[in-house]
Amino acid sequence: MTQVLILLGAPGAGKGTQAARLCAARSLAHISTGDLFRENLKKETPLGKRAKGFMDAGQLVPDDLVLEMLFDRVAKPDCQRGYLLDGFPRTIPQAEALEKRLGKPARVTVLSLVVPEQVLIDRLTGRRTCKACNHIQHMLFSPPKVAGRCDKCGGELVQRSDDSLEVVKKRLDVYRAQTQPLEGFYSSRKLLLEIDGNRPEEQVFRDLERRAFGGEAA
């Protein structure tokens, strides 16, 4: 049976960081729709060109574009055993489309990372991403050893264009209006597990792993 983990949470809640750790620990494919869009932007594909305006404005990319890209991705062989969705679904229609596509046989767990709003703003505006390896650092919480350079590979650290204060505020508004209702959607299906994401990364990781997998061996 395919195991599907869904990681919910506002922008800056730590989904990307925790998703990477969970996937490494549990051999799951990590599917980040935000990363998929950024790859398409970088390669200047038709999809990337259509998504760019929405992303730059802090808005959601229309559901039909997201769904086509996502369903293509999860059809790949590395997703057969299981995968983790990071940044998807973001709207009720996306969640309904996923539910329809998965049908009964999948084992779905929804983990929601809960973090206060001011903490989200501080985290996002200080975030820097390595252009070469996507490693994430923070100007206050994990400052680079060499200014502007990734601690892991030495690549250039850049601020995502949508991590500026103005766009961050817009993204949080969009999150509240369009994505937060998913908590009710999954809670009514008894699939929602809430996790306090305002703690050190290691503690959040251990809690997520325990809640998602119980005592199951990796």
Structure token digits, residue 187: 């809670």
Task: Please say whether the beta carbons of 95 and 182 come within 8 A.
Answer: yes
CB of 109 to ligand AMP, least distance (A): 18
CB of 97 to ligand AMP, least distance (A): 11
Structure token digits, residue 147: 């200014």
How far apart, in whole angstroms, are the C-alpha atoms of residue 23 and residue 32? Answer: 12
Quick note: the x/- pattern for ligand AMP over 168-207, rule CB under 6 A, is ---x------------------------------------
Q: Does 87 bind ligand AMP (CB under 6 A)?
A: yes
How far apart, in whole angstroms, are the C-alpha atoms of residue 104 and residue 12? Answer: 32
The residue from 8, 37, 123, 124 that contacts ligand AMP (CB under 6 A) is 37
73 vs 171 by CB, closer to ligand AMP = 171
| Axis crossing angle, helix 63-74 with helix 33-42, rounded to the nearest 10 | 100
Q: Does 4 bind ligand AMP (CB under 6 A)?
A: no
Residues in contact with 82: Cβ distance below 8 Å, sequence separation at least 6, in sequence order: 2, 3, 4, 5, 26, 28, 29
For 12-164, where are the alpha helices, taking DSSP H only? Answer: 15-26, 33-42, 46-56, 63-74, 92-102, 117-125
- The identity of residue 64, as a single letter, is D
Stretch that binds ligand AMP, among 32-40, 71-79, 123-131, 208-216 (CB under 6 A): 32-40
Task: Please say whether the beta carbons of 139 and 128 come within 8 A.
Answer: yes
Stretch that binds ligand AMP, among 86-94, 98-106, 108-116, 190-198 (CB under 6 A): 86-94
The residue from 9, 11, 14, 144 that contacts ligand AMP (CB under 6 A) is 11
Q: Does 85 bind ligand AMP (CB under 6 A)?
A: no
62 vs 206 by CB, closer to ligand AMP = 62
Quick note: the x/- pattern for ligand AMP over 48-67, rule CB under 6 A, is ------xx--xxxx----x-
Q: Catalytic positions, please? A: 15, 90, 127, 160, 171
Q: How far is CA 213 from the centre of its chain?
A: 19
Residues written for the chain: 218
CB of 76 to ligand AMP, least distance (A): 18
Q: Which residues bind ligand AMP (CB under 6 A)?
A: 11, 33-34, 37, 54-55, 58-61, 66, 87-88, 90, 94, 162, 171
